[in-house]
């Protein structure tokens, strides 16, 4: 929301036009402009414009809107004279109507260093550029006045007043936007995307008046970089477009979105996907088609990809009907109609059938050539024309069977829906979603480019990290520029790659350090970012290193005033999805290695986690007062005995079950031996479920847990594997209760005042360590020496690991939700939207593998509990039935929790993409993403 109303247009103001008149009397002798060796500078800025691109070069280019020249924003302009080393300050307020600091008059024989700033520089920041030429060159914009020219401007960032009249958006742009049919009203409003409403139609005379120019010929316009202003506008633009999509999704009580999704799904049933081309090549029995596909397979990229896409488009053409054009169609091209007319002229009573066939062949030949000659080349079409037509005919026959039914009396898709109504609805909705999708893609690309090119961090250098007021403004600016920047997967991956190369940019206000301090910081910080497992194993030591490195340089977030701390945490969050993506990729590889019967190395696993993660873990340790304890030899031995006992009992249960089945088959289930085996089976199963499995679960927990309503017996050593997270008492109880509830299938959010998203990272790190160590121990001690299947043995490990990861995600959920509520007050603006997007990314990247893994583990547990319940029912033991039923309910709850979590993860991921309108341009691929059953089709609003 803008801090002020948009100024009134005054381009036709005659009083302002008078300021543009020559400054000399007509009878006065002419002199060469700038001959005095002095020039007055009129500052402008590089900024986002609707459409007016200047005739001079700009520092970079953008896709969403051009980078042009604008009037200066409110703020401060600093000019350092390279000859005298004097630093001048000019303050601009009220859109330039109020300027303090005097005129910008400088000699033309020197180089100036200029910088636009949103805040007044402190003495430390002034000294930084006065005393260091490296900082001056890195952070300020060099402008050489020696080439100043009254005709051409004379150099980079300098233009004449005449050029300004043609190139400055406020002076020359005539952007009259029309609202597209069905579009949002803002699409017809120029400059709706401005973070603050500066744009208005005015003229050069206003700039000359503000700077008290006496002779415009003695002036040049200085165009300064304002990358922060550009990034603010891009972020606001993205917010606006997302708002349009959200309004669309909720219009008509959400029915529009529902109908669009269903229509896209129905449409997708009649369209081929890229992956289907290989299947299509295999099912065809036509030798010419097979020969064509063999030639395509032998092509090299990118030619093969181009050909495959052209063939896919060709096959999907007119896929809503499954019909080819006919000679009698009224909308055939004029050229084709003329050729058909000539053929009809040759018809007589004896050749009518042959002429009809020729007409059909001519239409189809033209159809193939017109569709494919440009993309595939005339030679390819001439060589494979018959094969292409045959393939299209076969495909269309299958489509017609699908759409209209393959047999008499069988209904097709078109019999179940109102096709014309659905196509009309898609034709109305799809163009605006395609338009918004393209716009969001361009915005995301521009924002990612500016971030990964360090434009933001270079531009925001001037905030003083030792000044309390400027620390607040610095974090607020960072949030305003970077909020919700990880909106789609492609951008998130790019930012993750950039952050992997430069993890130091994740540290709070690192970019405000002097250049020499930055270089020193990067070298020392690399030992922390590459610490791997030592970040948790030697957390106290590494925290000491991080504190020594940042002390006196960067702000301690936990010690900031509450409002500043809230904004600081939120300014830190936009890069979180990129880190979560890195975590998800590594954990996915971890689970795949287990499925391949290999044991991942714990140190290597932690080293492959995102390089920004170790410092975040250390922050969380300090913030929560937590610590990690390495399992002792006695604890490891106790864990080894526990898991051996669990496995031994399970093997014994399998042996008893097999033996009893043999006895039942020979002597009957009432025989003494069968009854004895049954009692032994019940005893061992109860021992396993009430003693050993709970003990194993506690040993695999990321925190130390005691059974409820119990106390530690002096001298007793619990079994542990890997690291144990030790928390303050209140948090220990909260996290322990959360994990126990999750194991029982109870989903409950932790209390927000006891958790933070950093605590979730600690639980995650501990659970990774425990699960990896336990897997390695299990394989080395048990599986390597036997011909055994991994899956049954790892069930107890994976189910508990799933509970730990779910707990980590639940903690982060609660923390981010609480932050969304507090951010609005801290910024006096709506900030919950980007936090919600971060929540979606957290679910998608961290939760997906957790829920999927937990689903399989809990399903296996439910299956075994169900078998136990069946055995109890058959035996008639009511107490055993109750115990088995309770266990089965808990396992079913865990299945439900994981299924619900997996569903919401996929839904959140799809929704994030949808809110970015990622898929809108190609609704036909909806089937691939959704996995929705075709049984939903009759429920469509287009049903007959």
Based on the fold, state whether residues 664 and 790 are members of the same structural domain.
yes
Write out the residue range of the structural domain in which residue 885 sits.
489-915
As a whole number, mean pLDDT of residues 887-901 equals 50
Task: Note the pLDDT tens digit of each residue in 807-851.
Answer: 566 555 555 555 555 555 555 554 544 444 444 444 444 444 444
pLDDT of residue 885: 47
Three-state DSSP class for residue 818: helix
Give the pLDDT of residue 906.
Answer: 44
Dig out the tokens for 192 from the structure.
Answer: 């709706």
Q: What angle (nearest 5°) sits at the alpha carbon of residue 907, between those of residues 904 and 908?
A: 80
Mean pLDDT rounded to a whole number for the chain:
77
User: Any idea which of 424-428, 487-491, 912-916 has the lowest mean pLDDT?
Assistant: 912-916
For 510, which DSSP code?
G
| Residue 720 is assigned to a structural domain of this protein | yes
Residue 195 CA: distances (Å) to CA of 67, 239, 437, 721, 898: 16, 10, 21, 53, 41
Which class for 808: exposed (0-12), middle (13-18), buried (19 or more C-beta within 10 A)?
buried
Q: For residue 1, tell me if it sits in a domain.
A: no
State whether 505 and 412 are in the same domain: no
Report the b/e string of 672-705 with b at 16+ CB within 10 A.
eebeebbeebbebbeebbeebbebbbbbbbbbbb
Q: Is 393 inside any structural domain? A: yes
3-state secondary structure of 127: helix
149 falls within a domain: yes
Q: What would the pLDDT profile of 455-481 be if each residue is shown by its tens digit?
A: 999 999 999 999 999 999 999 999 999
350 token code pair: 């004896």
Mean pLDDT, range 303-308, rounded to an integer: 84
Last residue in a domain, options 416, 439, 466: 416
Higher pLDDT among residues 400 and 838, named by residue: 400
Q: Which residue has the higher pLDDT, 138 or 736?
A: 138
Place of tokens 């699960």: 771
pLDDT recorded at residue 931: 33
The set of residues, in sequence order, having a beta carbon less than 8 Å from that of 847 and lying 6+ positions away, is 809, 901, 905
Domain shared by 221 and 272, yes or no? no
Tell me if 219 sits within 8 A of 213, measured CB to CB. yes
CA distance 617 to 626: 10
Split into its structural domains, the chain has a count of 3
* CA dist., res. 276 & res. 66, Å (int): 40
Please check whether residues 317 and 206 belong to one and the same domain: no
Q: What pLDDT is recorded for position 933?
A: 31
Query: How many CB atoms sit inside 10 A of residue 172's CB?
Result: 18
Has residue 480 been placed in a domain?
no
Mean pLDDT, rounded, for 872-897: 49
The rounded Cα 527 to chain-centroid distance in angstroms is 28
- Select from 231, 233, 260 the least CA-distant residue to 248: 260
Extract the tokens encoding 461: 């250098």
| In a domain? residue 898 | yes
**Nearest Cα to Cα of residue 82 among 109, 104, 61, 113:** 113
Instruction: Identify the domain boundary among 416, 438, 469.
Output: 416
Q: Are residues 190 and 277 in the same domain?
A: no
Per-position DSSP letters for 100-148, written without gaps between them: ES---EEETTSEEEEEEESSPPPHHHHHHHHH-HHHHHHHSEEEE-TT-
Q: Choose one of 391, 416, 441: the last residue of a domain.
A: 416
Q: DSSP alpha helices (H): ranges in 726-789?
A: 729-743, 757-778
Domain-embedded: residue 421? no
pTM of the model: 0.77
Contact status, residue 553 vs residue 635, Cβ threshold 8 Å: no
* Residue 764 and residue 857 in one domain: yes
Same-domain pairing of 206 and 289? no
Q: Which of 143, 89, 98 is closest to 116 using CA atoms?
A: 89
Residue whose token pair is 């069977």: 401
Asked whether residue 90 falls in the same domain as residue 218, the answer is yes
Is the domain of 370 the same as that of 500? Answer: no
Residues 748 and 809 in one domain: yes
What is the rounded CA–CA span in Å between residue 872 and residue 923?
Answer: 51
* DSSP-assigned letter for residue 193: T
| CB-based contact 628:725 (threshold 8 Å) | yes
The span from the CA of 829 to the CA of 818, in Å, is 16
- Say yes or no: 211 and 272 in one domain: no
Within this chain, do residues 213 and 282 fall inside the same structural domain, yes or no?
Answer: no
Least confident of 240-254, 639-653, 867-881: 867-881
166 domain-assigned: yes
């Amino acid at each position: 929301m803008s801090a002020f109303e948009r100024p009134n247009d005054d381009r036709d103001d005659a009083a302002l036009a008078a300021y543009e008149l020559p400054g000399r009397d007509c009878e006065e002798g002419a002199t060469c402009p700038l001959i005095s060796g002095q020039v007055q500078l009129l500052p402008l800025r590089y900024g986002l414009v609707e459409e007016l691109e200047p005739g001079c070069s700009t520092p970079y280019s953008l896709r969403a809107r051009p980078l042009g020249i604008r009037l200066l924003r409110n703020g401060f302009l600093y000019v350092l004279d390279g000859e005298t080393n004097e630093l001048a300050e000019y303050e601009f307020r009220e859109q330039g109507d109020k300027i303090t600091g005097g005129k910008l008059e400088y000699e033309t024989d020197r180089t100036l260093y200029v910088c636009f700033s949103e805040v007044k520089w402190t003495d430390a920041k002034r000294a930084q550029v006065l005393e260091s030429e490296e900082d001056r060159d890195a952070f300020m914009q060099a402008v050489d006045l020696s080439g100043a020219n009254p005709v051409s401007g004379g150099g980079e960032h300098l233009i004449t007043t005449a050029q300004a009249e043609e190139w400055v958006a406020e002076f020359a742009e005539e952007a009259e936007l029309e609202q597209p049919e069905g579009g949002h009203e803002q699409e017809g409003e120029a400059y709706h995307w401005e973070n603050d409403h500066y744009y208005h139609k005015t003229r050069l005379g206003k700039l000359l008046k503000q700077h008290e120019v006496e002779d415009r010929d003695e002036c040049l316009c200085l165009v300064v970089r304002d990358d922060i202003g550009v990034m603010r506008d891009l972020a606001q633009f993205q917010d606006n477009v997302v708002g349009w999509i959200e309004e669309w999704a909720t219009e008509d009580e959400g029915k529009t979105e529902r109908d669009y999704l269903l229509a896209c799904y129905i449409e997708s049933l009649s369209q081929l996907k890229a992956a289907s081309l290989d299947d299509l090549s295999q099912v065809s029995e036509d030798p010419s088609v097979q020969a064509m596909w063999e030639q395509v397979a032998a092509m090299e990229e990118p030619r093969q990809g181009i050909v495959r896409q052209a063939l896919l488009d060709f096959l999907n053409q007119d896929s809503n009907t499954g019909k080819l054009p006919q000679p009698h169609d009224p909308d055939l091209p004029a050229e084709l109609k003329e050729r058909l007319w000539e053929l009809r002229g040759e018809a007589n009573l004896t050749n009518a059938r042959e002429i009809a066939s020729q007409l059909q062949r001519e239409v189809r030949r033209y159809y193939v050539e017109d569709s494919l000659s440009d993309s595939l080349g005339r030679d390819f079409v001439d060589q494979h024309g018959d094969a292409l037509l045959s393939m299209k005919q076969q495909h269309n026959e299958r489509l017609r069977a699908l759409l209209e039914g393959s047999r008499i009396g069988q209904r097709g898709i078109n019999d179940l829906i109102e096709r014309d109504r659905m196509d009309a609805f898609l034709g109305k909705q799809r163009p605006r979603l395609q338009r918004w999708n393209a716009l969001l893609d361009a915005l995301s690309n521009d924002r990612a480019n500016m971030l990964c090119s360090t434009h933001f961090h270079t531009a925001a250098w001037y905030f003083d990290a030792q000044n309390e007021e400027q620390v607040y403004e610095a974090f607020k600016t960072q949030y305003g520029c970077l909020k919700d920047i990880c909106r789609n997967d492609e951008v998130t991956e790019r930012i993750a790659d950039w952050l992997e190369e430069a993890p130091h940019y994740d540290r709070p206000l690192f970019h405000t350090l002097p250049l020499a301090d930055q270089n020193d910081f990067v070298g020392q910080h690399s030992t922390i970012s590459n610490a791997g497992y030592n970040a948790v194993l030697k957390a106290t030591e590494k925290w000491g290193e991080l504190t020594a490195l940042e002390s006196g340089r960067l702000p301690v977030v936990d010690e900031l005033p509450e409002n500043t701390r809230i904004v600081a945490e939120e300014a830190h969050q936009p890069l979180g999805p990129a880190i979560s993506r890195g975590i998800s990729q590594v954990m996915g590889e971890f689970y795949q290695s287990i499925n391949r019967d290999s044991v991942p190395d714990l140190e290597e696993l932690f080293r492959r986690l995102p390089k920004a993660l170790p410092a975040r873990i250390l922050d969380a340790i300090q913030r929560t007062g937590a610590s990690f304890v390495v399992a002792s030899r006695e604890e490891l031995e106790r864990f080894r005995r526990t898991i051996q006992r669990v496995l031994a009992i399970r093997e014994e249960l399998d042996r008893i079950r097999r033996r009893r089945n043999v006895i039942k088959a020979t002597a009957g289930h009432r025989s003494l031996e069968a009854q004895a085996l049954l009692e032994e089976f019940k005893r061992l199963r109860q021992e396993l479920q009430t003693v050993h499995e709970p003990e194993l679960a506690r040993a695999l927990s990321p925190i130390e847990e005691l059974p409820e309503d119990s106390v530690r017996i002096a001298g007793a050593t619990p079994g542990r594997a890997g690291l144990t997270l030790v928390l303050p008492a209140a948090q220990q109880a909260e996290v322990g209760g959360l994990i126990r509830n999750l194991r029982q299938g109870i989903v409950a959010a932790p209390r927000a005042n006891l958790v933070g998203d950093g605590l979730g990272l600690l639980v995650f790190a501990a659970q990774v360590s425990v699960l990896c160590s336990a897997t390695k121990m299990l394989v080395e001690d048990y599986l390597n020496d036997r011909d055994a299947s991994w899956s049954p043995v790892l069930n107890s490990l994976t189910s508990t690991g799933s509970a730990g990861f779910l707990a980590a995600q639940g903690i982060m959920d609660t923390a981010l939700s609480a932050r969304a509520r507090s951010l609005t007050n801290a910024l006096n603006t709506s900030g919950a939207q980007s936090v919600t997007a971060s929540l979606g990314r957290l679910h998608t990247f961290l939760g997906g593998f957790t829920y999927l893994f937990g689903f399989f583990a809990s399903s296996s547990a439910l299956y075994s509990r169900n078998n136990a319940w069946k055995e109890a029912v058959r035996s008639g033991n009511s107490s055993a039935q109750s115990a088995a039923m309770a266990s089965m309910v808990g396992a079913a709850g865990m299945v439900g929790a994981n299924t619900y979590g997996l569903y919401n993860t996929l839904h959140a991921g799809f929704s994030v993409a949808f809110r970015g309108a990622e898929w809108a341009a190609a609704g036909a691929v909806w089937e691939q993403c959704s996995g929705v059953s075709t049984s939903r089709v009759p429920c469509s609003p287009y049903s007959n």
